[in-house]
């Protein structure tokens, strides 16, 4: 087994850990467990640093040498797994942004009084969109 192949094994294991960590992060965000989410951030940062170093070294070795086709195939598999991790990270980011937007809208509603911001949709009991009406709309017409 070549050194590059051994490094790919380690990188594959780290990628699997990252994927699991991103799933745990998503679960923590869904359940609003911010303590768990915060604890996962330091682990994720360390893992990403290790992966970055491994990927840089492996890509340098692959570019400089005539690599075995099986190693190239494994490298492509690793890259696909890392792209999946990127998508999982983006999913988590979207969830965070949506929760932040909801909190900002709720705060704007509370601070602004009874009038809801125009960017927030409010639904009635039947699930229909209930837009705020202007009281003097007929008078202005």
Q: What are phi and psi of 116, to 5 degrees?
A: -85, 145
Question: What would you measure as the largest C-alpha separation in the chain, in angstroms?
Answer: 84
Question: Is residue 47 pLDDT above 70, yes or no?
Answer: yes
Q: What is the DSSP letter of 132?
A: P
More confidently predicted of 125 and 71: 71
Mean pLDDT across the chain: 82
Domains of the chain in start order, with CATH, are 3-140 (1.20.58)
Inter-residue contact 87 to 20 (CB < 8 Å):
no
Cα separation, 50 vs 81, in Å, equals 16
Please determine, for residue 105, whether its predicted confidence score (pLDDT) is greater than 80: yes
Q: What is the CA radius of gyration of the chain?
A: 24
Average pLDDT over every residue of 112-123? 59
**At 115, is the pLDDT very low, low, confident or very high (cuts 50, 70, 90)?**
low
Average pLDDT on 85-114 reads 88
pTM: 0.70
Segment 53-89, tens digit of pLDDT? 888 878 777 776 666 777 788 888 999 999 999 999 9
- DSSP string for residues in 94-118: HHHHHHHHHHHHHHHHHHTTTPPPT
The residue to which tokens 């970055």 are assigned: 52
User: Measured in Å, how far apart are the chain's first and last C-alpha atoms?
Assistant: 82
Percent of the chain scoring above 90 in pLDDT: 41
The kind and range of the H/E element at 62 are helix 34-64
Q: Which of the 8 DSSP states describes residue 129?
A: B
Q: Are 61 and 25 in contact (CB under 8 A)?
A: no
Residue 15: predicted pLDDT: 94
Average pLDDT of the residues in 12-37: 94
């Amino acid at each position: 087994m070549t050194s590059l192949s051994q490094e790919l094994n380690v990188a594959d294991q780290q990628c699997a850990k990252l994927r699991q960590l991103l799933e745990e992060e998503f679960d923590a965000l869904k359940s609003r467990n911010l303590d768990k989410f915060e604890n996962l951030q330091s682990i994720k940062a360390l893992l990403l640093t290790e992966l970055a170093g491994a990927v840089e070294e492996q890509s340098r070795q692959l570019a400089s040498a005539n690599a075995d086709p099986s190693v190239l195939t494994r490298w492509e598999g690793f890259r696909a797994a890392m792209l999946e991790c990127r998508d999982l990270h983006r999913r988590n980011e979207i969830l965070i942004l949506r929760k932040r937007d909801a909190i900002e809208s709720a705060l704007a509603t509370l601070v602004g009084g009874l009038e809801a911001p125009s960017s927030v949709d409010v639904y009635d009991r039947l699930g229909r969109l209930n837009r705020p009406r202007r009281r003097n709309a007929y008078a202005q017409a």
